[in-house]
Amino acid sequence: MTAGHTFLAVDLGASSGRVMAGRWTSAGFSLHEVHRFPNNAVRLGNSLHWDVLAIWSGILDALKKFRVQFAETPAGIGVDAWGVDFGLLDREGRLLGNPYHYRDVRTLGVMERVARQVDGYSFFLQTGVQPMPINTVYQLVSMIEADDSQLHAASSLLTIPDLFQYFLCRQIHAEFTEATTTQLCDPASRSWSKHILDALQIRSDLFAPIRMPATVLGPVQPSVLREGGFDASFPAIAVASHDTSSAVAAIPGMDEQSAFLSCGTWSLMGARVYSALRSRAAYDLGFSNEGAADGAMLCIRNLTGLWILQECMHHWEAQGKNHPWEQLLQAAEVVQPLRSLIDTEDAAFQAPGDMPSAIRAWCAQTDQPLPDSEAEIVRSVLESLALRYGATFRALQSAIPRSLNVVRLVGGGVRNRLLCQMTADACRRPVVAGPVEAAALGNLLAQAAATGHLSSLAQGADALSAAENLLVYQPQCPDRWQQAAEHLARIQSLRDTSLSDREKI
């Protein structure tokens, strides 16, 4: 790839969005953050929504800033975002209402009701996806059950990144990696599962044909060009639009012996496989299959991530305690280790609210010392996340028929050196951390491949291997972390038994 081509990566996360300009140099992409904006859930009545017009405004602001900062026309633009959520368009291509947030309560109990029609493992055999209440399929069934007027009026369903690509270029499409998060896609045929759609009476005409990543969709529409101040057009490009798939595409050294851990609001751990792993063992261990940027698959488990700490920070800020993050981490390093542990997947930590109180309550219910200070809470969460990563790594190793010798960690967690070291300790494997901006880099690589500036995604990943400054964390104190893992497993078992006994009463 020759120097001088600049692409725009729109990278949308569950708490913020940003637009990155990536300019190819002889050593890889040089990244420049053009614009960052908050992405907050909005509660309206009893419902939780995404403010898509605010997100779109943030993207338009980024285009204006790019024009001022670079005084050139981009070589392309692509969007990656989270999975499962969607918007509905009417026959005129107009958005029908604000898309729902995956944490909205409308799916409560839906998964259990659907299981009476299609049991979980049959679902898994069809789609390769682990049933989760947040998945697109359960959101749609909740709308069918409610006889939702928006669903009746809808002509097209677009996942969140596909929706913003539509705003850019007016092309209705379904990108492969994002489609695989819906629990409605057959990953082998790369098409929508007619069996599942028919069984649940979901309209098949809502879904556009599935396109692979690194596909040019079409030119950015004139109204967007005028808004951004551009005289010349440039293409909108379908990247690996599920942010995890984009991130994995940019991991340097991602080989057969590597597991990956994408660590942000959510954490996702897995390994590359050539075809969807749909064994009973993989299902029982909680693994899903999602599309990879090159058309292969990722055997992956969704885990709660830094969301818990984000909620703690929101609570402390609301109390007027504006602690600098680095100071909290420094304080957490020196408090007593492995003292108060939580199950980060417990339902107590899945809803927004007073997270510090939820953590203390969980510790009280499990007869553990209460973490009182902010530093103790931070350490408790980080250690508990690392222990969950360790347990997941061992489950992944049992599901994958090859040895996994290293964990490659990308995303915002790379900046958290304490968590990186704890992850190495809990997984008992070296952790190679970096890059932080993996999702944006994967987005940019797909655009460069789509426009012929790179011969393949693999070529770009090879270039990143030489360009990125990666940090390696070696495991320490394996016995102490093994004992902590066993202790937390006992706590979880006792709590589950206690809750089950209460339900019987």
Angle at 176 between CA 170 and CA 180, to 5 degrees: 120
Query: Is the Cβ–Cβ distance between 185 and 191 less than 8 Å?
Result: yes
Angle at 248 between CA 328 and CA 34, to 5 degrees: 65
Question: What residues have CB less than 8 Å from 319, skipping those under 6 apart?
Answer: none
Angle at 83 between CA 465 and CA 350, to 5 degrees: 105
Query: Is the Cβ–Cβ distance between 473 and 430 less than 8 Å?
Result: yes
Backbone phi and psi for residue 203, each to the nearest 5 degrees, phi listed first: -65, 120
Could you give the angle at which helices 417-427 and 325-334 cross, rounded to 10 degrees?
A: 40
Q: Which residues pair with 191 in a beta bridge?
A: 186
Cα distance between residue 216 and residue 238, in whole Å: 6
Give the C-alpha distances (Å, rounded to integers) separating 444 from 46, 81, 385, 464: 38, 14, 30, 12
Q: State yes or no: is 479 an active-site residue.
A: no
Among residues 80, 243, 294, 425, which one is catalytic? 243
Backbone phi and psi for residue 7, each to the nearest 5 degrees, phi listed first: -115, 155
> Which are the catalytic amino acids?
243
